[in-house]
Amino acid sequence: FKRSEWINYAIIEIIRIAVGSLLPGYVHPDEFFQGGQDLFFGCPSLIPWEFEQKNALRSIFPPTLLTWIPLTLYSSVANEGEGTITNKLSGLEILVLPRIFCGILSLIMVHAPLYFLTRTSSTVGPTSTMWLLSSSWPTWVFLNRPFTNGLETMFLAVLLQVVTITLTSPTRDQIRMFALGVLFALAVFTRFT
């Protein structure tokens, strides 16, 4: 019984990441202007004013994490280090790969903590909250796109889990406190505007 529930849940998650990553169009221009395609690949060739050195209002951390790192890793594996990254990747790869990465990252940073936060002693499969989240349109769209909003959601989920573990623990060890500090710092620098 519990195994079939997990298999069904895995199928829904695979469909969410695959379909959510391939949905045409965009929800908001910030998908591209916050996603790093413009910063790292010159698409368009102008850097948005929020990222210009003289007017910097945004952190480079989210586009680096959500776009540059997955594309660089993929490019180095797929093309064996030939040429520059912009010469190696097609426009479709630059569009879809960060979406797939965000979908997988949301699975790790949102769905896994959610399971631990919502399960009970009798929970043997995915919780109803997990089913609801994995089948909702906002999850399919926003957590599969390189938005800072999605990254904020991911950090919030992990923070909630660490805070819950910390508050229910009889001791306050330094490792958990350090983890909270790091997570808070990353979350703040995801969007500090």
Identify the residue with better confidence: 91 or 8: 8
Find all residues with CB under 8 Å of 172, minimum gap 6, and list them: 166
| Spatial separation of the C-alpha atoms in residues 57 and 149, rounded to whole Å | 16
Identify the residue with better confidence: 10 or 170: 10
The pLDDT tens digits of the residues spanning 4-21 come to 888 888 999 999 899 888
Query: What confidence category does residue 42 fall into, taking pLDDT thresholds of 50, 70 and 90?
Result: low
Q: In angstroms, how far is CA 6 from the centroid of its own chain?
A: 22
Which token pair is 116? 């631990």
Longest dimension (CA), the chain: 59
Helix and strand element counts for the chain (H, E): 12, 0
